[in-house]
Amino acid sequence: MKIILGVSASIAIYKSCDIARQLTKEGVQVTVVMTPTASTWISPVILSALSNNPVYVSDTDHGGSMAHIDLRKKADLLLVAPASADIISMAAVGAAPNLLATLLLSFEGQKWMAPSMNPAMYAHPAVKANIQKIKGYGYQVIPPDTGEAVCGDSGEGKMASVEHIVKEILANIKKI
């Protein structure tokens, strides 16, 4: 089984390392696609080492000129974890300013998002509307946990646990 792990800029980015490692340990081939901002928060080298695959940040990475087309043909599922308010918004309106957002438009397989953001952001009506919109497009959304965020605020918005996300993805992979 092959999946694309999309990584957007959220404080929960460190969890994407554990997701890549856990899925790889389960025999899943993981290819990571990061937003440009996410690649400044955590080195693509780390995710490459954990996934045993090259990491993509732009459409021209690794000698290609249309990575969003090449990558979509090589995966069964696309998981964005963490999914920031920004990437969810791009998916909701069809904006494609970076490789990950372009891939969300071109990928024809199952698409999953694990939202991660400040509780006040997650509660905002625009974010709620965007999540409903992407669900209408067929995205599966793994609800965030409730608790204390890194900033100290409490409420719903912190990304679901790595264990829960991996369990959901592995259960779904068996259905494909």
Where are the chain's structural domains? 2-173
What is the pLDDT, as a whole number, of residue 152?
A: 84
Place of tokens 């698409």: 111
Catalytic residue of the set 45, 69, 120, 151: 151
pLDDT (average), residues 96-109: 93
pLDDT tens per residue, range 28-81 = 999 999 999 999 999 999 999 999 999 988 866 656 666 666 777 779 999 999
pLDDT tens per residue, range 104-160 = 999 999 999 999 999 999 999 999 999 999 999 999 999 999 998 877 889 999 999
The CATH homologous superfamily to which domain 2-173 belongs is Flavin prenyltransferase-like (3.40.50.1950)
What is the pLDDT, as a whole number, of residue 151?
A: 79
Cβ partners under 8 Å of residue 144, min gap 6 = 114, 115, 116, 117, 122, 156, 157, 158, 159, 160
17 an active-site residue? no
- Distances, alpha carbon 36 to alpha carbons 33, 79, 112, 175, 176, in Å: 10, 17, 20, 32, 30
C-alpha closest to that of 58 among 97, 110, 106:
97
- The string of DSSP codes covering 71-115 is HHTT-SEEEEEEE-HHHHHHHHHT--SSHHHHHHHH--SEEEEEE
What is the pLDDT, as a whole number, of residue 107?
A: 93
